[in-house]
Structure 1
């Protein structure tokens, strides 16, 4: 479907779902892939120009809840939108959802949100002098935002899967087994996680991908939290562990996202949530998340087309990066 055709359908969808009348202008595709296709555009109305984002999710990537145990949880477009709507209602800076698309719109499943201006590129955020002030604030901001996410009432979102640490290991070990790829370091990491699973944790809504690269940042700090499609109910310490992974520091010195101090993240979280951070559980999830990313690299690297040829040179290159999170995993468990 070409851009002019999408623009016409998009204008009709916004009129139908949100009562917004106008023409779609400057429609530009930002990213594309197996999970989402993202478009930036402006809706020109009698009241002025409104910046927006369209995200499309092909039907084939609908929620993994339809086939539990076969894949990691992934929300469909309507569920993703509902989580963001609930998050904003709870004071979390999530994208403002304007319309949720359906089959009658002819645009695949997806949703439209307001567009938030800012930077998402990790290397720029952790090194550019223009964001020095933001870096001083972001660890505390992240702790406060995560505390708000973890206090969201999950009863309002009954479609979310609950993943205990043991269940999450079962899912990812199963994904690795289905690749047929065998590696001693991966096998050791799986066994280490199995032996060190937490036995007690409070259930909470977990973003599960809260990290540099999924945050829109301005010079004052974090403006918006993106990519909610793998949210689940689980151990809240998981989010702190993911944010502290070396992979998502993009070369920055700060242990929290490459931009700040782990201590500042923890202190802000405790102030905002009224609950103590468990450093050992955070480190467990940091290690486990490195294993999950290593498995993700393997799966991407082994991706093939219908004829059996490698899916792309880019995915092959991602596959070779398996060793980086594995190195980080072993550094963590030795420490």
Structure 2
């Protein structure tokens, strides 16, 4: 992607916020992200004041994002209104906008988002001790977002969608197939739909010594069972070698008590276990799908290939979780 050609039109967009003469400096792609392109830069005003910002763009065809970027911007604004720590959205537009590609510009929040550093940095020790509880409070706020706050959110059956993706891959994965059948037979009762973040985990949080500063990546948000977010946060992949079940930094009790105290729905532990197991199965299917993007030639990527090698880890985790 030619980022240089975007600098001029982007400056025009930012002039509405920062005034005429604003310059875009240091625009460059940041690491991470398999479905969006993330770039850091500074908007420098005519008076010389620098504003650190983030530009998000649509990624490669076949990427996983289910929510258009303009809708993601709306979700971030709705989340902030509900009390979720969120970067301020500066500008957003679709493919017919000034950049010729869907984009969101947001403020850049300083802090740590690399999971292994979140789990090990001595400077984050105090925040880490409260992180599971804080995640419970934030998820209660996420699930308070009005379901009609952003139009067009998907409400598909999550388990059926997962099975359809696995079928479309066209490869045998007996452990995943067996786990999905077991999940189908043991479905918990359906809860009233809520806005579900869809990827709330260690790695999509910006953390500082004072705690969680921002929740990122709303690209998989949808309407569904709020317990999905709690189960996903507890999936083993997001523990990064830690024995603590909630994101590698806390206990189930810390998460549940804070979630319920902050106004979230009452959590049934068996139901949470079902959603945790679904999260592991879902991640296994996603890893297989991302590997297929690489192997099919749709997008050659070492990162996608590495994800493919993690399918077996999730299959093993699922077999360990089966009663």
TM over 0.5: yes
Deviation larger for 186-195 or 45-54: 45-54
Of residues 112, 118, 139, the one that matches 1:125 is 118
Residues 58, 108 of structure 1: 8 Å contact kept: no
Residues 140, 269 of structure 1: 8 Å contact kept: yes
- Relative to structure 1, the CA distance from residue 219 to residue 30 in structure 2 (aligned partners, 3 Å threshold; closer, same or farther) is same
1:200 aligns with 2:190: yes
> Residue 39 of structure 1 aligns with which residue?
39
> Residue 55 of structure 1 aligns with which residue?
56
Deviation at 1:279, TM superposition (A): 1.4
Deviation at 1:11, TM superposition (A): 0.7
Counterpart Cα distance in 1 of 2:289 and 2:116: 25
Counterpart Cα distance in 2 of 1:330 and 1:59: 33
Deviation at 1:332, TM superposition (A): 2.2
- Relative to structure 1, the CA distance from residue 300 to residue 124 in structure 2 (aligned partners, 3 Å threshold; closer, same or farther) is same
CA root-mean-square deviation: 2.2
Q: Deviations over 1:132-155 (max 9, x none)?
A: 111111111100000011011112
Of residues 121, 127, 136, the one that matches 1:134 is 127
Partner SS state of residue 247, structure 2: coil
1:329 aligns with 2:323: no
Partner SS state of residue 155, structure 1: coil
Deviation at 1:34, TM superposition (A): 5.8
Give the TM-score normalised by the residue count of structure 2. 0.92
> Residue 88 of structure 2 aligns with which residue?
96
Deviation larger for 151-160 or 2-11: 2-11
Counterpart Cα distance in 1 of 2:50 and 2:215: 23
> Residue 267 of structure 1 aligns with which residue?
257
Of residues 180, 193, 215, the one that matches 2:205 is 215
Q: Deviations over 1:275-310 (max 9, x none)?
A: 32121111111101111111111122233477x598
Counterpart Cα distance in 2 of 1:108 and 1:175: 27
Residues 61, 76 of structure 1: 8 Å contact kept: no
Deviation at 1:223, TM superposition (A): 0.5
> Residue 66 of structure 1 aligns with which residue?
none
Counterpart Cα distance in 2 of 1:76 and 1:133: 36
Deviation larger for 100-109 or 21-30: 100-109
Residues 214, 227 of structure 1: 8 Å contact kept: yes
> Residue 29 of structure 1 aligns with which residue?
29
Deviation larger for 321-330 or 140-149: 321-330
Counterpart Cα distance in 2 of 1:322 and 1:274: 32
Q: Deviations over 1:215-239 (max 9, x none)?
A: 0000121110000011111111111
Deviation larger for 284-293 or 252-261: 252-261
Moved over 4 A (4+): 58-62
Give the TM-score normalised by the residue count of structure 1. 0.89
Deviation at 1:101, TM superposition (A): 2.6
Counterpart Cα distance in 2 of 1:7 and 1:182: 46
